[in-house]
Amino acid sequence: MSHSPPVRRLADWDHEQLLALAAEYETPLYVLETGRVQANYRRFDAAFPDAEVMYAAKAHTGRAVLSALLDVGADIECAARGELQRAIEAGADPNTLQYTAVNPPAADLDYAVELADEYPGLTITGGARDTFDRLQARGYDGRVAIRINPGIGTGHHEKVATGKDAKFGIPAERVPDLAADLRERFDLVGLHAHVGSGVLTGEVDEHARALGKVADLAREVGDGDLEFVDFGGGFGVPYREDEPPLDIEVVAETVREAVGDLNATMKFEPGRYVVADAELILARVNTVKEAPETTVVGVDASLSTLIRPAMFDSYHPIRNVSAPDRADEAVSVGGPCCTSADVFATDRPIARPEREDILAIGNAGAYGYELANNFHSQPRPAEVAIEGDGARIVRRRETMADVTRVEDETAGAPDAERE
């Protein structure tokens, strides 16, 4: 791409290239553009020149994404053991990683502590006093940060408004006492908060107010003794065609005004903002059924390919890339799973699909492949990355042998062998 518009719509993709990819790699197919991933990160990083901008790996842990971001200088924030391992395998220096533990299983803490023994720059963020006690019991006395629950949540869905969910973080009023305790046991280097996800223009002021509360708490705790205050991510992208994109420079100024002066480095960890519009799904129409109340369009993608509409009632734009100029018709688009939740759109105006047409489902980069699954024993799709004028396979299509391999290899085996 020669420029970096604030959002990439489905109409901006090269339709002929998409059709060629569908023909070569079959469908359903995830199509990623790594250059767009890098452009989105650079735009965000430029808006916050005085901050450290990490990438929240949970949005998309594909090696192609992680490697592309490491190439432009991004650090990585990880929420699970597997993300730590994948970041390292992609080339990240473990000393730069930040591990945000949420009710971490024992194996996750064991791995993080062992990693920190070799790479003491690793930072472990805890959201419960219990987590810090468990770290101490493992002999850990290194770098830690406290995850704060500010009591304010923002975002596109109640399931992602983490700032007011008791699952996440220490209640703000308990943080000063906990900080004093942790300074006796660990190297307390930071505070962390993640208020919510998918924040758009109308929610920026409330989001900034929550970040201001975090900054106030940092000053109360003693920001001069802290290396950083991590304000999380949550900055959204418009999934609906009529939603305007965030003016990230205006957002950055709003956040800076709300936060005020800090005697510590600001950190941010965008995930969705970086990858959402950098990937789409190609699906082939296999059925067109006229029903009394609607026209049902069946495709070969399903909620096993993209679960967000079923899980979050998420809107994803859909475009008929085979015939974008055909007259629009209100249709319902769904997949082959035997559940009424397997629907991507209901009564949506789309250039009338016909059997064998290729539909593109947009904004699939964030929590798309991450949440792909094997419901109905469906193998997960392939993923290709557009890089320059070409494309390469970065994740092969699963086979049924992949789906059943764990059963085949462990059937009847002792528990020790299964582990």
Q: Which residues are catalytic?
A: 338
Closest CA to 122 of 89, 105, 148, 144: 144
**SS in 3 state form for 327-351?**
CEEEEEEECCCCCCCCEEEEEEEEE
Q: Is 269 annotated as a binding residue?
A: yes
**Residue in the block written with tokens 């002999």:** 139
C-alpha 396/C-alpha 251 separation (Å) is 38
C-alpha 266/C-alpha 52 separation (Å) is 6
DSSP tag of 34: H
Give yes or no for a contact between 308 and 272, defined as CB atoms under 8 angstroms apart: no
List Cβ<8 Å contacts ≥24 apart for 9-17.
9/241, 9/277, 9/317, 9/362, 10/280, 10/317, 10/318, 10/319, 10/321, 10/360, 10/362, 11/319, 11/324, 13/280, 13/321, 13/360, 15/321, 15/324, 17/386, 17/391
For residue 349, give the amino acid letter: P
DSSP tag of 243: S
Q: Is 234 annotated as a binding residue?
A: yes
Q: Is 138 annotated as a binding residue?
A: no
Q: Is 134 annotated as a binding residue?
A: no
Q: Is 203 annotated as a binding residue?
A: no
Q: Other C-beta atoms within 10 Å of 195: how many?
A: 31
Q: Other C-beta atoms within 10 Å of 388: how many?
A: 7
Q: Is 139 annotated as a binding residue?
A: no
Q: Is 355 annotated as a binding residue?
A: no
Strand partners, 337: none
Q: What value, to the nearest 5°, has the Cα angle with vertex 42 and ends 37 and 47?
A: 135
List Cβ<8 Å contacts ≥24 apart for 392-397.
393/25, 394/32, 394/62, 394/63, 394/64, 395/30, 395/62, 395/369, 397/25, 397/26
C-alpha 172/C-alpha 189 separation (Å) is 17
Q: Which residues make Cβ contacts (< 8 Å) with residue 38, sequence separation at least 6?
A: 68, 69, 71, 72
Q: Which residues are annotated as a binding site for substrate?
A: 272, 308, 367
